[in-house]
Amino acid sequence: MNTSLPEPLKDAIRSLVEQIATTQPFQDFESTRSMLSRNVEALQLLEHLEEEQRSLSRLALQRDLADEDFTAIEEARQKALAHPVILAYFQAQDRLVSLLQEINNEMSSLLGFDFASSAAQPERELEEDWE
């Protein structure tokens, strides 16, 4: 269901976004994301971690996983988190998520329902609404 938002609501949303963009958690996240995107070593470590995750997922489709199956992914995770740029990125991401959760809590309190959960619901076909 697509509806056109009224201009005053669009203005309020733009204002909220502008306010979020001025916060330290958002600025730190943007800064660390930029640093991460330019750091070849950090990107390689993250790519290796993602490959280990894919490998583990493929293995899980074939058989039950044993403790030793997690060794490679745990080593890749520890190496990635030991890199200062990756660690700074994840820490900044955590602070931004905390801020966004606070914003959601405030909006939910004012609206009387969980705003983020409601907004995250998949769009239903119109016919489903009538059933």
Does the model's pTM come out above 0.85? no
pLDDT at residue number 125: 56
What pLDDT score was predicted for residue 119?
Answer: 86
Any long-range contacts for 102-109 (C-beta under 8 Å, 24+ apart)? 103/16, 103/20
Structure tokens at 39: 């750091």
Q: Which helix (H) or strand (E) holds 74?
A: helix 71-82
pLDDT of res. 94:
98
Query: Within the chain, which residues score under 50 in pLDDT?
Result: 130-131
Yes or no: say if 69 and 59 are a contact pair by the CB < 8 Å rule: yes
pLDDT of the residue at 129 = 53
Structural domains in the chain, CATH included, are: 8-121 (1.20.1500.10)
Residue 130 pLDDT:
47
Length of the chain: 131
As a whole number of angstroms, the distance between CA 57 and CA 51 comes to 10
pLDDT of residue 126: 52
* Distance, CA of 43 to chain centre: 17
